[in-house]
């Protein structure tokens, strides 16, 4: 059964809340993971160094288990997931932060669909580079997450 993520007053069809989803992620993701609830959904933020080496778009092999755990949860949800990369690295290559961010989020999306059978209709990947800094106002108890991967579980029921 697919479980929708909801917030108070969002839907009366299910008792699954963003807190329930957050608890599922907390069981399997690094303890440094930051969770922020905003009107558009639940943002699960990982430091990008957990998944990538500096200035590289290839996913670290020793971090694939993290993506595997995220994929398991995503497959249980009907919600869209937007994979966003925010990077402000200074790289020697002829690649911009925006290009690096786009490649990283696309590589995660490809891994989910190609190797973990997450529906392509469920995923969107976006690279922001340095153009959307972390808003400490939304989550004041967090460290600076200038360089991060956000998995945004969109806050509405979807049909796949």
What kind and span of H or E run contains 21? helix 18-28
Structure token pair of residue 107: 């590589």
Asked if the model's pLDDT at residue 139 lies above 90, the reply is no
Distance CA 128, CA 112 (A): 20
Q: Coil, strand or helix: which one is 63?
A: helix
CB atoms within 10 A of CB 153: 22
User: Average pLDDT, stretch 55-81?
Assistant: 94
Q: Where are the domains of the chain?
A: 18-154
For the domain spanning 18-154, the CATH number is 3.30.1330.60
- Which pLDDT band holds residue 145 (cuts at 50, 70, 90)? low
In DSSP terms, 65 is beta-bridged to none
Mean pLDDT in residue range 71-90: 90
Q: Looking at the predicted structure, is the pLDDT value of residue 6 above 50?
A: no
What gap in Å lies between CA 160 and CA 158, rounded to an integer? 6
Q: Taking residues 17-46, what's their average pLDDT?
A: 91
Taking the C-alpha atoms of residue 95 and residue 103, their distance in angstroms, rounded to an integer, is 11
Residue 158 pLDDT? 40
* Confidence band, pLDDT 50/70/90 cuts, at residue 129: confident
């Amino acid at each position: 059964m697919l479980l929708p993520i909801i917030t108070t007053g969002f839907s009366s069809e299910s008792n699954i809340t963003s807190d329930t989803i957050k608890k599922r992620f907390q069981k399997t993701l690094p303890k440094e993971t930051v969770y922020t609830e905003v009107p558009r959904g639940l943002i699960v933020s990982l430091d990008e160094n957990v998944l990538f080496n500096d200035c590289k778009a290839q996913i670290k092999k020793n971090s694939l288990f993290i993506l595997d755990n995220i994929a398991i949860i995503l497959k249980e949800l009907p919600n869209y997931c937007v994979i966003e990369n925010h990077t402000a690295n200074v790289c020697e290559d002829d690649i911009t932060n925006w290009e690096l961010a786009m490649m990283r989020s696309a590589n995660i999306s490809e891994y989910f669909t190609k190797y973990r059978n997450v529906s392509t209709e469920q995923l969107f990947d976006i690279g922001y580079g340095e153009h959307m800094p972390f808003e400490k106002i939304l989550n004041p108890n967090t460290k600076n997450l200038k360089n991060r991967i956000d998995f945004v579980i969109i806050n509405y029921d979807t049909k796949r």
